[in-house]
Every structure is written in C-alpha cells, then in structure tokens.
Structure 1
C-alpha cells in the first residue's frame, strides 16, 4: 500500500525536518504513534563511520527502557540486539519472526514484552551499509495488523534518506569544528567576500582581532573598513582578477601596516565556471603559547631551560636578549644554544627557529 498525500504531509515532511528538533524526529514519531495507535514508536540509530560509533534512541509514547528498569526487566532492544543486527534490511518483522526458528527464544521474547504490557511488535532494520544502521520499531498492547507492517515498509526508505542526511550533516559539522579549531590553533583566521568586495562571512577570532586592533567592527554585507585607499584598490583589483579567472594562483595582499596584517586571497570555486566568493586567509599576529617550551621539551627530550631558550629565539630575540629575558648570563645562554643545536641536529639559529615553527610548540 503506497503512502497517500496525507501521509506525505503528516509523516514524511516532519521526518525530513525532524533532525532540527530537540529531541530529534519527535513530531514524526508522535504522529506515527497516533496513526498506528501504538503504545511505543522507537527509532534506534547507530553510527559506525569515522565520526565515531554512537547510539541515539528517539521515541514517542511509553519509554520502554525506563519501564524495563522500573520493573527489573531486561531492555527490550539490548537483550536481543544480536537478533536485531541480523535482520534483513527493509523487511518488516513481527514478534514471531524475530526468532522464527527458536520457539524457546520466541516464548522468552514474548514474556519480556508481556512484562512491559505489550502483546505485539513490528520492526524494520534500515542501513546504508557503511555509516549507519537503524531500527524503526512499533509496539503495542494489542496485536499489530498487516497495515502496520505495510506502513513501516513504505516509510523505511524515507527514514533511510533522513538518517543519511543526518549523518552527512553531523559529519560536515564535525569537519567544520576540526577546521575551525585547526586554524585557530595555528593562528590563522579567514574572511570571505562577494564579488562586490562585501564581507559575506568571518571567523570569530578574526572579527575580534580586527575590531580590537583596527578600530572598526567588520560587518556582514559591508565592505571591510579600516583600509587605506591604496589597499582598498589593490584588494578590489585582486578580487576582480580572481573572479575573471578562478584558477589563478592565490594572491597576497598587505591589508594594514600597523598592526601588520596580510591576507592570501583565493577563489573558493576554483575550477568552476561560475565565480563565487573570495576566501582571504589571514595570519593573526600573536605571542607564542606559554606552554610551547614544555611541548618542545616533551617531544625532543630537552631540559626545560634549553627549551625556553629555543622559544625565545623563535620569538625573534637574539642570544643576548634571550639571556636577559631569562635571567641568564650570556655565556650560559650560548652554552645552552650549542647543546640545543647538537641535540636537535640543526646548524644554527635559523634552522632552530624553523624547527620550532614546524613543531606543535607554536600551536595555541
């Protein structure tokens, strides 16, 4: 039996918007419960891709897990989880079919459900084969019907699409968090501009820095303020060039002299015939992290004071300046530097600074 237009409005639409709800899919599950007169509608969702194996349980009606705990009964899903994982995808199973070839196990399952006040159930396993497996379950105190099975069977493909969208959205969110954290730790910010040089997005770190050091608040939908006329013209020309040919190499622009702030401009849609926003990667000036010396010492097995000297030198200070800042004699600082060069396999201060900046010591 195919889904009706009413089903599409009452069930499918809230299913696809349900990932935005809290708890998720609440409207879809409650409407399905009312439609079938079920005591319980459950959706158990397991992810098993690189985002990490997580189990999420959504339900409408009676909370079977809580009732099982209150009556000292086994959880109806976890007890027979091995059976549920063996179900053929997209086929609806009845209570008797779950353990079709084992009458003892079938009777035990029926008793466990009876202890929860339930007489029958229907379940369908849904999976994309790679990133998730889910079970849509219907349980109630009276026998289920063929119409219940038909409804779950028809809904299963749509539930699979909705859960696939959810997994993809979660993956994108995780990637965005990783990218944002990586850029922030590396002292890099970003801005995006449309082809009219208006700001379309900016990361919080860059917005805070710009407002604090450039005297103006970056505003979405407006051109970047705080630039002199020459820089504004150069920025416009660079963006126009990238818009004309998104495949052009990235272009560096000096945004401000004081504080010094550069941007590396590139087309976000390089390779596309339709020009899109321009991405500006921005190195954010900042002090080296306070615990950078401890990280350097940990990785390279250095004494703490030698690691501190390495960080001072990486910060642009001379041997004499570093010695004064650390409260050392110049001779002691020179001895430390010689030991550093030998232990780290570098041939001088320049190579030492390069090693430090290629290490985790400079990450915030």
Structure 2
C-alpha cells in the first residue's frame, strides 16, 4: 500500500528530473506560533486522528504548516521484507514527485545506511538528518527529490505497533535546520500520539473481531438486526438484508422492521417492548421472545428478540439495546442450493465419501427422497440406493433420518 497525499494549495516548480524544487517564499518559516496553542491543537488532532479515514492526516497537514515543511509523512506500518510502507502523507498540491517510486529506489540503493531506516529510531526520540549526513550518491538522490532536512520521530503502543513521523523541509528553505522550539513541540506531542495509537490498535482489534463474528453469522445463514434504545434499526447484517430483500411482507422502512400483516406486526412490537422492559429492569436472564411470520409468498420466518447485555458506563438511546435474529424456516433453497453448489467437496472431506456419495448425502440431508435425489443427480434410482448404502455404512448410521441429523449438526462446517 503506497503513501496517500493531501491536496493543499501552494507554489513550486519542477527541475529537469521532474522533482519539485520549492521556493523559499512558500516554505520559509511560518509566522511565529504560540507554543502552548500549537501544542493544544496538535494534541486534539492526535486523538481525533483515530476516526479519520486516513489516520492522523489532519495532524500531518497541520505539522506541515506549523513547521514549514513541504512533506510530512506518518508511517503506520513498516517491515523490512515489504516493498513499501503503509503511510499517510501531507504535501503540497503541486508536488508531482512519485514518492512510491522514491521509496522503492531508496530501499534498493541506500537501505544499508542506518540513518535512513525507520526502525533505528526508538520511540519517544528524534533524529535529524539531510544530504550532508549521508554518502555522496544518497545525498545527490535526496537533493533530486528536493529534500533539505528531515526530522524523524517514533511513537509506539504496548501491543507492539510502532509508527514514525517524518517532517521534511525543502532544499531552498532558509535556515533549514529545525530549531529547539520546533523539536520540543514534536517531542511534547509524542506521548499523546502513543496513547492515541494504543486506542487505535484496540479499536482495530475490536473491529476485526466484529467482522469475524459477522462473518460467522452470515456463514450460518442467520440474519441479525441491531436496535437502539428507541427500537430503531442500527445495522443489518448481510444475511438479514438478503432474507428481507427476498421475502414479500417484511421490510425495513424508516428505521423500523415492519411486517405487512397487522397481527404479525403487533406480535413483533409486543415482543420488542417486552424484551426492552426486561432489559431496562435488568432482569438477570431474559429468555427472549419468538415471533413466527408467514410471508405473502408462503415462506415461514422465525424472529427471536433478545436483549443486548447493558454496559454500566455506556447508556443512552443510541446504544445497541436489542438484537433480532431472523431465520428462514421453510426456505429450502438456502439449505439445499448451498450443499449442491458449494459443499460436495467439503462433505466428502469431512465424512470420507466419494464425490457422488457426497452429492447424494447433500440432497438426502436436505430432505429429498431417494427418487428426488436421483433425479437431481441424473442417475438411476438403483444407483442412488447403492450410493446411500455406502454412505450409511461409512458413517455408521442406520438411514436417512440419522443422515439428516448428522448434516444438520455439521451445517456450520459445510456452508
């Protein structure tokens, strides 16, 4: 993943190699800033950066402005064996430098220079370097990119995530070395970035867990709708959306799950109200409420309303409060099509069957008769009976009833 760039208005001109040489007027020192005010602003951006689509981009851009830099890069992931780092970069809109290529070239040609490698900078510390501090070939390459001085720092969190900030000044900035007040500002921000990074890492772990659990529910073909304290729909998982879109007589409209049939809607509202009351009264064990719904096209759906366990310090009308589990009870397609199209190999692998035996097991497990299954497989009924005898013998079961039970217990592995 390459660097991501800002679009900030500025002036610059390109040299013959296509690199940007930035004017001393544009990137001269910014007017004197109040240290306390600047620090307060950057601390706010350090924590606000958690929720940005490009984490800490606003912080990078503000640092670029405050420190008179033409490029500020925050490296969120660095690994020696990867061709590129994961970075968020703030730079001038007129900069046409291919920084991805510059990174690849730097790794290929100059990675033996410890000063250039981020991992040599310890958390909470700063280093400053420029063309005068490296060998001639590298100095010429840095100059071709317009790099005058770089102030690099590192921040980390206890779980092992380590990030770097590079504040880069152009060759033509007068007095290009960073002064003590600028270095102190960056050092003062680092502890807050470390704390923010810890929160960011925890947030991303929880998001990953959420995605895994959502995938598991979709894998089990179980629809879920999460409701807030006003019983309005907060989110709908993929399976629930698919079920609702397929059925006639149930929909999500204006933030509510609505059934077309009046009696079913009343039953659903009653179940939701009852479970919500139980949650508000902090009942230790609320068993949930079940509602059955037959859609206009004859399909039977089941809805289980359950409370979301309350958090003592996380309350309010927007907090997830109820979960509605939605399941198709009479929809054969979801049960039959998936084994037929996707699972014969898994069934064969799990139960030690041949492919033809696995195909027959899928149809029989879905409730088809021997004749119906033979027709689906385009084989003779006699052949299907022989296959079924082999299946029962291999699995050590007596007949189709046991096979259906076994397939139902294995559905989580076979979908």
| Structure 1 partner of 2:122 | 88
Shift of 1:200: 4.2
Partner of 2:303: 263
Q: For the aligned residues, what is the CA RMSD?
A: 3.9
Equivalent position to 1:149, from 165, 174, 183? 183
Q: Does 1:126 align with 2:155?
A: yes
- The alignment status of 1:248 with 2:280, answered yes or no, reads no
Matches within 5 A, 1:110-121: 113-114=142-143, 116-121=145-150
1:39 maps to 2:39: no
Q: State the TM-score, normalized to the length of structure 1.
A: 0.78
Q: Following TM superposition, by how much is the alpha carbon of 1:339 offset from its aligned partner in structure 2, in angstroms?
A: 0.8
Task: Report the counterpart of residue 51 of structure 1 in structure 2.
Answer: none
1:282 is aligned to 326
Distance 1:183 1:107, change over 3 A: same
Residue 61 (structure 2) aligns with? 30
Aligned residues: 351
Q: 1:155 to 1:35 in 2, by over 3 A?
A: same
Aligned to 2:402: 351
Instruction: Please give the residue correspondences for 1:301-312 in structure 2 after superposition, counting only pairs within 5 Å.
Output: 301-312=352-363
CA deviation profile, 1:315-344 (whole Å, cap 9, x unmatched): 112334323443444332222112112223
- What TM-score, normalized to structure 2? 0.70
Q: 2:222 aligns with which of 175, 180, 188?
A: 188
**Of 265, 274, 278, the match for 1:237:** 274
Q: How does 1:131-210 map to 2 (within 5 A)?
A: 131-140=160-169, 141=171, 142-194=176-228, 197-210=231-244
Structure 1 residues 70 and 241, CA gap change in structure 2 (3 angstroms): closer
Distance 1:255 1:207, change over 3 A: farther
| Contact residue 296 and residue 359 of structure 1 kept, 8 A | no
CA offsets per residue over residues 245-280 of structure 1, 9 Å max, x none? 443153351331442212233221157597961212
The Cα offsets for residues 274-307 of structure 1, whole Å up to 9 and x where unpaired, read as 7961212222342431222232124444222211
The answer to whether the 8 A contact 1:127-1:134 is kept is: yes
Secondary structure of the 2:392 match is helix
Pairing partner for 2:89 from 50, 59, 62: 59
**Inter-partner Cα distance in structure 2 for 1:312 and 1:244:** 47
The SS at the match of 1:4 is helix
State how far apart, in whole Å, the 2-side matches of 1:68 and 1:294 are: 43
Q: Kindly indicate whether residue 74 of structure 2 is the aligned counterpart of residue 74 of structure 1.
A: no
Distance 1:32 1:334, change over 3 A: same
Consecutive unaligned residues in structure 1, runs of 5 or more: 49-53, 97-102
Residue number in structure 2 paired with 1:319:
370
Shift of 1:135: 0.9
Note if contact 1:246-1:269 (Cα within 8 Å) is conserved in structure 2. no
CA distance in structure 1 between the partners assigned to 2:96 and 2:160 by the alignment: 26
Matched residues in 1 for 2:257 and 2:356: separation?
A: 47
8 Å contact kept, 1:267–1:278: yes
- Cα deviation digits, residues 224-260 of structure 1 (max 9, x gap): 3335256343554344334434431533513314422
Match of 1:5 in 2: 37
Task: Tell me what 2:8 maps to.
Answer: none
**Once the two structures are superposed, what CA deviation does each residue of 1:160-206 show, in whole Å capped at 9, x if it has no partner?**
23333433343333333322222122111112335665544433432
State how far apart, in whole Å, the 1-side matches of 2:103 and 2:305 are.
64
Assess, with a 3 A threshold, how the Cα gap between structure 1 residues 122 and 306 changes in structure 2: closer, same or farther: same
Q: Bigger shift: 121-130 or 343-352?
A: 343-352
Provide closer, same or farther for how the CA distance between residues 270 and 343 of structure 1 changes in structure 2, counting only shifts above 3 A.
farther
